[in-house]
Structure 1
Amino acid sequence: MTEVRIEGLVKTYGSAFALDNVSLTFPHGSFFGLLGPSGSGKTTLLRAIAGFVVPDQGRVFFDGEPVEALAVEDREIGMVFQNYALFPNMTVAQNVAFGLAVRKVSAADQKRRVAEVLDLVQLGDFGRRKPHELSGGQRQRVAMARAIVTRPRVLLLDEPLSALDRSLRVDMQIELKRIQREVGITTIFVTHDQEEALTLSDQIGILKAGKLIRHGAPLEVYENPRDAFTARFLGEANLFEVLSSSNGYHLADGTKIEALPSTHGDMLAIRPEHLVVSVTEPAQGPRLRATLIQRIFAGAIGSCVIDWQGHPLKATGRYQEFSTLPDQGPVWLSWSPDQARWVSQ
């Protein structure tokens, strides 16, 4: 298992920063998710680690050893791309063995190692098939097998599940995590799908316009976003501007907000699952008068679309909890103060 460390990576294209002084450590054997909107620098960072992109500044280390001078083929990297990049004229076994053949591994060892990884990805009986005879999920597993059969130090995944439909994507998330745990390879995973990153990753890093905005354990980053961008990008958040006066902190309608010892920022973020909707006024705690616009049924989980002072808000929970609410009309919103987070804009 290999620790990957990057220090002060900078990459520009013209006057635009693709990477803007990014430093980050990917721990040994971790599954690390990189996420951010389009153009945030995720793929550029991945390609810089692989050696496909040469940074203008900065260093890349594998287990403390600099690798910038190494060619792509000498970095011992396995990669899986969005389109899988399988050779259509080759069988599954030949596709998987390609990297071994390039490295001049003996035919006997090729056969043994290909059989091992095809069993690992649960395609042991598919070696003679061609890519066009496989489903999308099976092609994705072939690409994974090809990437790990060479026993790389680091596995890089660039949106490998984005071409799959939702139900298959969920199944493959489970498969990806299982395979990564079994082989123990340090894995860096690029995705724009927040739910996917939360599901798969031991650690996550959020990029915006080439800058690393936040990184850490998924639960920690989700529950303590620190800034409005992270709160909105990683899941959903209701954001309230907080005003200050001689009487303390309050919202636009005058609702008093308690300042916590760790207070920082100028907005309050409340996740939809922490916003309580009721017909009667709560007896205590912060509460707002608002208007219920719509109740949405989505199986066991439901949501409410709410208007407060012209701002759209959202509450989520078990649909049964919302069944006593009117379809539309005046409601009360409340939350526990310890579930609200102060964030900067």
Structure 2
Amino acid sequence: MRISDLLIKDRINLDIKSSDKPSVIRELARLHEKTGVLNDYDGYVKALEAREEQSSTGIGEGIAIPHAKTEFVKEPALAMGRKMSGIDYDSLDGEPATLFFMIAAPDGANNTHIETLARLSQLLLDDDFKEALEKAPTADAVLDIINKTEAEKFPDEAKKEEVKKAQASVANSSSSDDEPYIIAATACPTGIAHTYMAAAALKKAAEEMGVKIKVETNGADGRKDVLTSDDIKKAKGVILAINRNIEVDRFDGKPLIQVEAKEGINNAKALIQQVLDGKAPIFHASGSSEASSGEEASSEKKGLYKHLLSGVSYMLPLVISGGILIALAFLVDTLTCKCRI
């Protein structure tokens, strides 16, 4: 499904009035509500806010892609907003966001919205495309830019199959020493934005560096472009840009770098260069079939700490009450003794 199939003129606002993250989320959600996409505006906004609590969808470079898959959405849709003065969106690079793309997806829907996000991610890594959107004078101009760029970057289905076959052929012949071949895998907690942004960034960086790469995405629609044993055997090294568990024992004995997904987005070239320079440490499987990100480990520790504190907070009233009762008992005993005297 093309981006233009989900984005219509009435869901484009090139003059966002909001000045902070919560309000821009609500303002963009109104575009979905006004075009009949939602069956519960408040429920959808809460779903968006819950997603932001997991990790910010401000992916950096002035772009934010808030999204939610929820029962409060009737059909997949995309809304776009722009505020050139920028809004603090807790973005990965700490910079204000100027372009906003809000994805609405219903529970139980197919994965067309995931495919659209993956496509959108690739387009937004093109500086010319991003600049054109920033300068577009009207909503119609935005749609024209998107349609034109999609036509240039994504061939029709027949040509797409030819491209896939050609890429497979290149991958199969990429084991020669003069053509470095690297493999990677990406994953984020929701399997949507950062998963595909990291994959797109790594592919773009590899192309610019003259390096062959295959990237496995562990997204909401399952594993795509799965790394085969042959891929792993031929690869010079492995890059894992992940924020959740994936299978890693298959990489035993390979040079491997593991970072968070945002590092794959922001520092793709540096990660690839590290592998090419032979600076990636050799990975040794620990017997566990999955690797967890530092973020998840930290989350587990925080969760345990939270539960311990909760237990203490429940016990405090009992401890205090017990202390008061003991003090009263001593007081009564003292008064009783004085009365006897």
TM-score band by shorter chain is under 0.3
More helix by share: 2
Structure in which a larger fraction of residues adopt strand: 1
Structure 2-normalised TM-score?
Answer: 0.26
